[in-house]
Structure 1
């Protein structure tokens, strides 16, 4: 196993859903993880306990990832506890409320853009700075199939924010490649997490599963496995790529 395959990883938005599944997947593979979370101390602590009980290492940092100081503190925590990160999963994001564009409150629009776009850029900046000093690494961004599907009648604002993430992926891969830093993104489709219910659309998965060619909803673990591969040397010549994890939809 190469040093990068067992090196520390920073995960933003790591206490629930795909983030939590990725933290557990990486820790089980022997990689220490520093992850951020937005609100639930209980969820973060419970995840850390599960990781430790399974023989892994993890530390949680409560942070608003749209805040530059909070992002820098997360990376500093990783460096102090485990060493400089060789992998970063920029996962933190929100959908905002499900609504048509004409019904979208400007406050909610700004908040989605702050977390999903500004937060991703801030974490990417911190990742490139850390990895440039240690010979490179791998960054994985959280996109969404919504970026290309558009989110009509539900989440045009969310889809647009993920379109920005796609552009960040392609541009940063070209910019950071000479420093040995790979940049990719995963674009999940319909995945069984609590994000739908949190946006007031708990019934959404049941309503849309018929549109998935594979005939089922995906799992957080399936996305986590893709992220773990992109963070490993097994994907060493993959950069600037957005991988759909959407069952063919």
Structure 2
């Protein structure tokens, strides 16, 4: 039984959806009857995803910080599906491990562009797309780094996630009552992006030990939260950020 019939024949736009949390959300929404528009920079993984349901999935290699590229991809997607009902602003990078005095302008601009500028750009395109239905919703991916400061050496990342949190609160007020806007703030999740940063298994074990639930989270667990935030079950919820962090 589909516990979320609200997704059937509706369309979700997911950035950074070829792997990790974005891919997990895509899989769950597809299973619940939604059409998908997925943007990423990994062409091979996008093709693997599209092959699951070519009639219901539109994919494109898109630099989501490039407004021209985003608009062009959105035109193609809207021509196919008619518009967007849900948006997951998931694309993001941790960036290079650098102290504040080492952080050069090029690296700062790169992290800001992917993690923050893209949220403005893609949200704008989502809101400009045609839609005659109620219940539209945006979910932004923040991080518990927005309140903890993140790892030492990831100051740019933590700063962008704090900005995403503020953006979510402000946009929710601006768009109410027609579009709900919420955020998720994951802790340490067992995805490839974390494994790229933490290559030493002993460090991963040490991190798990300081989490009250004593383990890393999974992409599926974060995806379950996203599905709830998009669904009618959270119809009276807007302007919040939910920690998905095992109590950390």
TM-score, with length taken from structure 2: 0.91
Aligned residue in 2 for 1:149: 148
* Shift in Å, 1:17: 0.5
Give 5+ residue unaligned stretches, structure 1: none
Select which of 25, 28, 34 maps to 1:25: 28
Aligned residue in 1 for 2:53: 52
Q: Does 1:99 align with 2:81?
A: no
Q: Does 1:41 align with 2:43?
A: yes
- Structure 2 CA distance for aligned equivalents of residues 244 and 4 of structure 1: 24
Instruction: Decide whether the 8 Å contact of 1:33 with 1:58 is kept in 2.
Output: yes
Q: Secondary structure at the match of 2:237?
A: coil
Instruction: Decide whether the 8 Å contact of 1:33 with 1:78 is kept in 2.
Output: no
Select which of 6, 9, 12 maps to 1:9: 12
Instruction: Decide whether the 8 Å contact of 2:78 with 2:129 is kept in 1.
Output: no
Number of residue-to-residue matches in the alignment? 243
Q: Secondary structure at the match of 2:167?
A: helix
- Structure 2 CA distance for aligned equivalents of residues 10 and 190 of structure 1: 24
Instruction: Decide whether the 8 Å contact of 1:100 with 1:155 is kept in 2.
Output: yes
Aligned residue in 1 for 2:199: 202
Aligned residue in 1 for 2:187: 189
- Structure 2 CA distance for aligned equivalents of residues 72 and 159 of structure 1: 28
Structure 1 runs, 4 residues or longer, greater than 3 Å off: 1-4, 131-136
Q: Does 1:113 align with 2:112?
A: yes
1:161-180 per-residue CA deviation (whole Å, 9 max, x = no partner) reads: 000100110000000013x1
- Structure 1 CA distance for aligned equivalents of residues 134 and 5 of structure 2: 11
Deviates more, 1:16-25 or 1:70-79: 70-79
1:126-156 per-residue CA deviation (whole Å, 9 max, x = no partner) reads: 1222267654500000100111110241311
